[in-house]
Structure 1
Amino acid sequence: MNLMGLSRRRFVGLAAGVAATATLVDVGGVGTASAADARAWKGAMSANGWPLLDKAVGFTVEGSGVKVSLAEGDAATVLLHVARRFHYEIDSLRAGDIHGWTNDDKVAEGYESNYLSGSAMAIRPLWYPVGSAGNLYPNELVVVRDILTELDGVIAWGGDFTTPKESHFEITLTPGHPRLKGVARKIRGWNDGPGNAGVGAIDAFDPRRRRTARAFQRRVS
């Protein structure tokens, strides 16, 4: 990623926050929410059916030195794979770029409750806040679509939501779901196998992968 591209994306994200300063407040370090709309999440489960956590384990995103707190097990395996691909294929992650579990129960949208269970994360939420869309370059969007396709719908991206949040990635299935377990097992196999085949060996722009990603997007949209 060249410096001009990085500067533009930084500008877009920050400008979205500055333009809404009168009505937006930072919520628990995981996003930007309307002060009027932010509310406390009630209940013992997050919106995607995961139990809320009192604490979560910090994991290091491979190659970055950046840590993120997530629910242990399959959720962490899958979300860390997303973060690694972002780091290697979109832009290098830096300190403060990625947020996972939080105990701040204030949410602007129901899907933000998934941070409370450690089953979601936000990558650069101040750049890509709630309600802001169209911030990714086309080549970055190709990588995001390839990730979603590769993970067989186990991950949802906030850019596809009615009220978008392009920094947001969440687990779509409940704990122990067979498809979640299968995808996590596949990722662990890549990580443990020769050459770490799942990260760094992927070409999201391969024509076959792009056709598959477009077909997957049509199917789930």
Structure 2
Amino acid sequence: MWSCSVPGAGFGIDTRLGAVETLLVHVIRRWHYEIETLRGHEVIGWRPIEELDHSEPESNQASGTAVAIRPGAYGQGLSGGLTKTQRETVRSILDDCSGIIRWGGDDRIPYEALFYLDAPPGTAAVRSATSPLGKAADKLRNWNRTPGLGAGASM
């Protein structure tokens, strides 16, 4: 785990580096610009496993493959914390991530603050550049390098 910056937001998060970092930073950045402005203490990446419920998706934070955005505002087990427009933006963010990132708001026990990698972090497929994770990260990296591509681009 390393601390990486969230461009344009003025803070960083602790997360697994590489493709996972690319996707999670994308989620945070779009939330920051399109849903609500965030401050650093409102986004939590890596956390020690002892602080987490091992049986819930939040345990992904211990592997650096999840972030909680404003967890105090969007509590576990509660839904309806986002407006219709905000939910539509979340869906757009998830589409950007090619199904690799899951939103806790879609879980059996909702947790609207949580976004996490929807694949086991230790598998070879996750680490492969040709895996769905690698392809999704490459797409986002290309958007970041190319003006007029990605979120906010108009055709």
> TM class, shorter-chain normalised?
0.7 to 0.9
2:142 maps to 189
1:176 maps to 127
2:50 aligns with one of 105, 122, 139: 105
Q: How many residues align?
A: 147
Cα distance, 1:96–1:202 mapped onto 2, change above 3 Å: farther
Cα distance, 1:146–1:202 mapped onto 2, change above 3 Å: farther
What whole-Å deviation, never above 9, does each CA across 1:132-185 have from its counterpart, x for those lacking one?
111101110010011112222101000000111000000112422511100000
Report deviation, 1:129. 1.5
| 1:165 match: secondary structure | coil
Alignment pair present for 1:128 and 2:74: yes
Cα distance, 1:200–1:132 mapped onto 2, change above 3 Å: same
Cα distance, 1:132–1:169 mapped onto 2, change above 3 Å: same
1:117 maps to 63
Alignment pair present for 1:146 and 2:92: yes
| 2:99 match: secondary structure | coil
The answer (yes or no) to whether the contact 1:84–1:199 under 8 Å persists in 2 is no
Cα distance, 1:152–1:75 mapped onto 2, change above 3 Å: same
Matches within 5 A, 1:75-94: 75-94=20-39
Q: Which runs of 5+ in 1 are unaligned?
A: 1-55, 204-221
Determine the C-alpha separation between the residues in 2 that align with 1:80 and 1:168: 13
Q: Which runs of 5+ in 2 are unaligned?
A: 121-125
- Identity of counterpart residues, as a percentage? 38
Determine the C-alpha separation between the residues in 2 that align with 1:163 and 1:121: 17
The answer (yes or no) to whether the contact 1:66–1:93 under 8 Å persists in 2 is no
Determine the C-alpha separation between the residues in 1 that align with 2:132 and 2:50: 29
> What is the one-letter code of the residue matched to 1:141?
R
Determine the C-alpha separation between the residues in 1 that align with 2:140 and 2:98: 12
| 2:85 match: secondary structure | helix
Determine the C-alpha separation between the residues in 2 that align with 1:155 and 1:202: 24
TM-score (norm 1): 0.63
| 1:127 match: secondary structure | coil
Cα distance, 1:133–1:141 mapped onto 2, change above 3 Å: same
Matches within 5 A, 1:1-221: 56-108=1-53, 109-174=55-120, 175-176=126-127, 178-195=131-148, 197-201=149-153
